[in-house]
Structure 1
Amino acid sequence: MWPVDQYGAILMCEVWVDELMGMISGRELSLDAIRSAQDLKYANFPVSLYKYRVVNQYSLSNLANATLYLAAANAFNDPYDSAVSFDPLFGETYAGSLSDAIGLSAERRSEILNGPDPMRAVLEEMLKVSGQVVESAQLDVIQSVMSERHEVMKAEIVTGMNERLRSSYKVCSLTERLDSLPLWAHYADNHKGFAMEYDFKNLPFDNIMSYMLWPVRYRGIFNAADMLKGVRVGMNFNNLFALVAALHKSSDWAYEQEWRLVLPDGEAEQARNFDAPLKAVHLGTNISSDDERLVRESARIANVPVFKMRLIPHRFSMESVG
């Protein structure tokens, strides 16, 4: 189910996931496309998904109340989580945009942009229009400053959009893996925590959690240029492009085999808990007796069974046992 690249890294690049992303990544988005995408992912829901937790008052509350907490993406450990990439000029050069601003003829514009130093040539044209005379050394400084400032401006546009996106969408990360040693180490306090098991597959199609649950695609940061190019107020627009961004991550994270609950509810809305289909809880191999008692008590309130992970040293693996 999980293909690997030439270095042996797990990649979630199944045909159905690519097909799913194609359905929701178009410049415009129809209701039929959304319904088809929901149908496709619902048919591919895993039998179980897991949430690794450290033992604390928040995780014990989620366990006892059978809930999951959706947080803003800017609170996550991946600085690129839910971010997009795009060129604010959409392929146009700085020299090209400046040449448009001073109204050059098509012939002269083409000549400049195909010349050896388009930026320098455009600046010289701008000086001609203004009637100013600037020495070559001064023009070198002007060109350098303008080019540097332009790059800063482009970065600020992309950064500003990503800050808004990452604070707007609320996300909860889950995984198909219960037997992942790194996940237990990274997210469950070095095996001293626990993992909550959820059954989304048996939820009704029209349940809000079914709508919010999506697979992650490990193809790097999402390039939104095709979606954003030429967009104007009042135009039809795929307003779920930020959802697509939230479902793209670097292949460095592919070992997590992640699914995500994603809620596009805006910056003003607070992160919060949602009822979730809790199925069982699994204790880490290094959990303390005191923490085990607390987890078992919360599981009793939630009325779900408790299992414990067991190491299998000769296989360098682990399994959950009753």
Structure 2
Amino acid sequence: MITNDIIYDFLMDGIRGELSLFYSKKYKHIPNRLFRFEKFSNARLDTLKQNQIRMTEAERFNDPFDCLGIFWDSATLTEFSKTQGLSYIGESLDKEIDKMFREALTPLKVTCFSSELYNLPLWGNYAESGSGFAVEYDFKQLGVNSDFTKLLYPVIYREEREDITGVLKKLIEVASNGQFHPLLRLLFYKNLIKHISWAYEKEWRLIFIEKESFIKMPIKPTAIYITDRCDGENEKLLKEIALSLECDFYKLVPTKNNRNFIFEESLAK
């Protein structure tokens, strides 16, 4: 299981500029199976049929704090800005910082995966109470140098938002003299922070900047999954898509006479 401590370890390599070490450490922790949960629609079926995934604008996520799991001390930054010869007051400085982060979200396109297939809330929330489907990918096939594995990140779940006052002080300092500091890379990693209440999702997210909304996948799905709640006609359509993509097609049925809440998994016929 990947923990926040493990994530912080390889993120620090990235912040220090040791990118090859960062990518190799992160790659080791990418699960062999990542799942995208979907509801049925003609558009989603067409996207799957073309072996694409739909990227979503970060601002449209269902979590109002998504990509914004940060805060700063306005008074500290206002006083510091004065030492740098800037004339901001607290309110105007806050507005400028908030504007910077809001504008930084605009070009981001994100799509989300989970490391868990048998996750009942995910089936309920993202696959129409189990009547939808899940698609399995093995990004490890691509290797450590693929853009897709480089741009695939685990989400960090926290009780509190990250205090970035120190980072913003460095931003103000370097902005006033035109320099760059590696700590500024921390501003990207805010896109990975979510509240602990979302931890059940065990999310990995693929983040592109200024890309199209539909991305062609460099690999085919390894499997497609449905549950016994899937409509017969939809099951038939998905089975045809699985055949065209040359991937396995499974049906999940809740087990009976078993203490545990688990599915019985079988190849759909």
- If the length of structure 2 is used for normalisation, what is the TM-score? 0.84
Gaps of 5+ in 1: 3-11, 102-149
Residue 150 of structure 2, aligned match among 194, 211, 222: 211
Q: Identity of paired residues, percent?
A: 24
The offset of 1:43, in angstroms, is 1.4
Is the CA contact (8 Å cut-off) linking 2:77 and 2:165 kept in structure 1?
A: no
Is 2:9 the counterpart of 1:19? Answer: yes
> Aligned letter for 1:193?
G
List 4+ stretches of structure 1 deviating above 6 A.
96-101
Residue 213 of structure 2, aligned match among 261, 268, 271: 271
Flag the structure with larger Rg: 1
> Aligned letter for 1:231?
V
Is the CA contact (8 Å cut-off) linking 1:88 and 1:154 kept in structure 2?
A: no
In structure 2, what is the Cα distance between the partners aligned to 1:53 and 1:215?
Answer: 20
Is 2:266 the counterpart of 1:321? Answer: yes
Residue-by-residue CA offset, 1:282-304 (whole Å, 9 max, x unaligned)? 01331111111121122222121
Residue-by-residue CA offset, 1:40-89 (whole Å, 9 max, x unaligned)? 01112211000000011232123222222222211111111112534374
User: RMSD in angstroms over aligned alpha carbons?
Assistant: 2.7
SS at match of 2:141: coil
Is 2:178 the counterpart of 1:234? Answer: yes
Higher alpha-carbon deviation: 310-319 or 181-190 = 310-319
Is the CA contact (8 Å cut-off) linking 1:49 and 1:199 kept in structure 2?
A: yes
Report which structure shows greater RCO (CA 8 Å, sep ≥6): 1
> Aligned letter for 1:17?
I
Is the CA contact (8 Å cut-off) linking 1:85 and 1:158 kept in structure 2?
A: no
Is the CA contact (8 Å cut-off) linking 1:309 and 1:321 kept in structure 2?
A: yes
Aligned residue number for residue 80 of structure 1: 65
Residue-by-residue CA offset, 1:268-289 (whole Å, 9 max, x unaligned)? x542323143111001331111
> 1:166 and 1:222, CA in 2 relative to 1: closer, same or farther beyond 3 A?
farther
Is the CA contact (8 Å cut-off) linking 1:191 and 1:284 kept in structure 2?
A: yes
Aligned residue number for residue 105 of structure 2: 166
> Aligned letter for 1:198?
Y
The offset of 1:251, in angstroms, is 0.6
Residue pairs, 1:1-322, within 5 angstroms: 1=1, 12-13=3-4, 15-24=5-14, 26=15, 29-30=16-17, 33-83=18-68, 85-87=70-72, 89=74, 91-92=76-77, 153=92, 155-219=94-158, 220-229=160-169, 230-232=173-175, 234-238=178-182, 240-265=185-210, 269-277=211-219, 278-313=221-256, 314=258, 315-322=260-267
> 1:16 and 1:151, CA in 2 relative to 1: closer, same or farther beyond 3 A?
same
> 1:180 and 1:100, CA in 2 relative to 1: closer, same or farther beyond 3 A?
closer
How many residue pairs match? The answer is: 255
> Aligned letter for 2:249?
V
Higher alpha-carbon deviation: 158-167 or 181-190 = 158-167
In structure 2, what is the Cα distance between the partners aligned to 1:54 and 1:274?
Answer: 20
> Aligned letter for 1:235?
Q
> Aligned letter for 1:70?
M
Higher alpha-carbon deviation: 43-52 or 156-165 = 156-165
Gaps of 5+ in 2: none
> 1:58 and 1:43, CA in 2 relative to 1: closer, same or farther beyond 3 A?
same
Aligned residue number for residue 134 of structure 1: none
Higher alpha-carbon deviation: 52-61 or 233-242 = 233-242
Counting strand residues as a fraction of each chain, which structure ranks higher? 2
Residue-by-residue CA offset, 1:91-130 (whole Å, 9 max, x unaligned)? 2567x978999xxxxxxxxxxxxxxxxxxxxxxxxxxxxx
SS at match of 1:177: coil
